[in-house]
Amino acid sequence: MPTDTLAQGDDRGSVLIVLHQERSSPGRVGQLLVEKGYRLDIRRPVLGDKLPSTLADYAGAVVFGGPMSANDPDDFVKAEINWLDVPLREKRPLLGICLGAQMLVRQLGGKVQSNSDGSTEIGWYPLHATEKGRRLMHWPKMVYHFHREGFDLPRGAELLAEGDAYPNQAFRYNGHAWGLQFHAELTRAMMHRWVVHGAHRFILPNAQQGREHLEGRMLFDAPLRSWLNEFLDIVFTGHSAKAETETRIALPG
Query: Can you give the pLDDT at residue 8?
Result: 47
All residue ranges of the chain with pLDDT < 70 are 1-10, 240-253
Mean pLDDT of the residues in the chain: 93
* Residue pLDDT, tens place only, 97-126: 999 999 999 999 999 999 999 999 999 999
* pLDDT at residue number 5: 54
Considering the entire predicted model, what is its pTM?
0.92
3-state secondary structure (DSSP) of residue 212: helix
Quick one: which of 221, 236, 183 has its CA closest to 64? Answer: 183
Catalytic residue among 20, 80, 98, 147: 98
98 part of the active site: yes
Query: For the domain with range 3-250, which CATH number is right: 3.40.50.11740, 3.40.50.880, 3.40.50.10470, 2.70.98.50?
Result: 3.40.50.880
Return the domain boundaries, the chain. 3-250
185 is catalytic: yes
pLDDT of residue 246: 54
pLDDT, one tens digit per residue, over 152-174 is: 999 999 999 999 999 999 999 99
**Rounded distance, CA 226 to CA 140, Å?**
9
| pLDDT value, residue 3 | 57
Q: Over the range 71-106, which residues count as b (16 or more CB within 10 Å of their CB) and which as e?
A: eeeeebbeebbebbebbbeeebbbbbbbbbbbbbbb
The catalytic position among 20, 145, 147, 183 is 183
- What confidence score (pLDDT) does residue 239 get? 76
Sign of the four-CA dihedral 76, 77, 78, 79: positive
Q: Are 131 and 125 within 8 A, CB to CB?
A: no
**pLDDT reported for residue 16:** 98
Contacts of 35 (CB under 8 A, 6+ apart): 7, 8
Contact 169, 163 (CB under 8 A): yes
The active-site residue, picked from 80, 145, 185, 213, is: 185
